[in-house]
Amino acid sequence: MIEKLKDRDVLILVGAVFGLGLILSLLGSALAPLPAPIGPAAQQFADGALTTVELTLCSGAIGLVLGVLAAVGKRSHLPPVRWISDLYVWIIRGTPLMLQILFFFLALPAMVPELQLSEFWTAVLALSLNVGAYNAEVIRAGIAAVPPGQVEAARSLGLSSLYTFWDIVLPQAVRISLPPLANNMVALLKDSSLAYAIGVVELTMASSRVQAESFRPDIVLPTVAVVYLLLTTTFTQFAAALERKLAVGKR
């Protein structure tokens, strides 16, 4: 039974990745036959969806690394490291994401003229820092949930603190934290729509342009909602299959 479950989960994992690529590659062709204003703007929707996924994957990967670093920092025995990590999480979680995006796009270049990023990478920076702060709290809770006895056993075998954390604690913490981390990833995909505020032509911006040209929000907005549902469902299925596979390995 477990082997069948493993095989099914592997198929779901591969299918989710393949399905995401299929959605992105065929979205323009699938929308093209539809009547105006959707059909004529099919490529705009396809390009916007691709940009949305690129924003999500880039920001999600960087945010995961930031989350691990901040989680470790919040548990550090060094007060300056702990204070910096706490300050980062406090500021990011206590301010709106839109404000953060506008800060990095408008205020930061004025404060440090050398930091001139494109609209896309400015959005990636803001989204990464935002999701990283939320990931930090999730991973910190996951680390705290690892039984202390396992750490003590690893140290009694002569393993270093770094090796114990990297090979014993962190893998279990990530497995424990996977469901909320997956939720953060899906939320990140939807939050990437705020990048339209600085001119990134992602899915929401593309739909806004089509809606402004056609004056048909009753058609454009439901179409965009369906595309978002397809993308979020793919991400959710991938995360659920990965969670089951790791849970099977635990048993």
Which domains, ranges and CATH numbers included, belong to the chain?
Answer: 2-250 (1.10.3720.10)
pLDDT, one tens digit per residue, over 17-36 is: 787 888 899 999 999 999 99
Residue type, 222: P
pTM: 0.90
- Mapping DSSP onto H, E and C, the string for 124-192 reads HHHHHHHHHHHHHHHHHHHHHHCCHHHHHHHHHCCCCHHHHHHHHHHHHHHHHHHHHHHHHHHHHHHHH
pLDDT reported for residue 111: 93
Confidence (pLDDT) at 4 = 46
Summarize pLDDT for 175-215 with one digit per residue, the tens: 889 889 999 999 999 999 999 999 999 999 999 999 999 99
C-alpha 65, offset from chain centre: 11
- pLDDT (0 to 100) of residue 250: 52
The pLDDT of residue 12: 66
State residue 8's pLDDT score.
66
- pLDDT at 162 (0 to 100): 79
Residue 251: its pLDDT value, please?
45
Instruction: Tell me which residues of the chain have a pLDDT lower than 70.
Output: 1-9, 11-13, 246-251
CA-to-CA distance for 38 and 219, rounded, in angstroms? Answer: 8
Cis previous bond, 222, omega within 30: no
pLDDT of residue 101: 97
Which pLDDT score, from 0 to 100, does residue 34 have? Answer: 93
